[in-house]
């Protein structure tokens, strides 16, 4: 289950009694602010949620998956996300209570993205 922008708008409108179009405008403004800061190379920290970071990747040699031919990949910037400790703890607590993973499980950590949908239930 994926949380969409529309679902966020609907949940905020329902929780606060605001009109959907007002909430949609507010959500759009917030997302645009985050996008513009990331596009300018700045990191975005949302306390209790996580940090979006812009990382530079240097030029490197890659392979065309279809032909196997070596090719030069251009330098670029990528956005990464590191969740806060509070979010990680909440996701892990919910995952354990739902039986998705067990504290004694020695397997590699599951991806946070796989568990985030359960955090909003």
Q: CA-CA distance, 98 to 73, in Å (whole number)?
A: 42
Q: CA-CA distance, 107 to 100, in Å (whole number)?
A: 12
91: containing domain = 84-121
- Residue 100: predicted pLDDT: 61
Q: CA-CA distance, 74 to 61, in Å (whole number)?
A: 9
Dihedral-angle region of residue 63 (phi above 0 means left; psi in -120 to 50 means alpha; beta otherwise): beta
* Alpha helix segments (H runs only) across 40-101: 85-97
Q: Are residues 88 and 75 in the same domain?
A: no
Domain count, the chain: 3
Q: Are residues 89 and 114 in the same domain?
A: yes
Q: Are residues 18 and 52 in the same domain?
A: no
Q: Are residues 29 and 57 in the same domain?
A: no
Q: Are residues 116 and 88 in the same domain?
A: yes
Q: Are residues 36 and 65 in the same domain?
A: no
Q: What is the pTM of this model?
A: 0.70
Q: How do the pLDDT tens digits run along the chain, 121 residues long?
A: 899 999 999 999 999 999 999 999 999 999 999 999 999 999 999 999 999 999 999 999 999 999 999 999 999 999 999 999 999 988 888 766 766 655 554 444 444 444 444 444 3
């Amino acid at each position: 289950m994926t949380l969409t922008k529309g679902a966020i708008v609907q949940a905020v409108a329902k929780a606060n009694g605001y009109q959907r179009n007002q909430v949609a405008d507010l959500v759009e403004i917030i997302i645009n602010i985050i996008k513009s800061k990331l596009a300018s190379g700045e990191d975005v920290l949302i306390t209790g949620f996580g940090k979006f970071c812009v990382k530079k990747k240097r030029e490197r040699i890659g392979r065309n998956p279809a032909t196997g031919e070596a090719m030069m990949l251009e330098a670029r910037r990528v956005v990464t996300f590191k969740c806060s400790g509070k979010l990680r703890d909440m996701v892990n607590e919910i995952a354990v209570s739902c039986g998705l993973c067990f504290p004694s499980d020695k397997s590699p950590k599951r991806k946070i993205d796989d568990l985030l949908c359960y955090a909003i239930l």
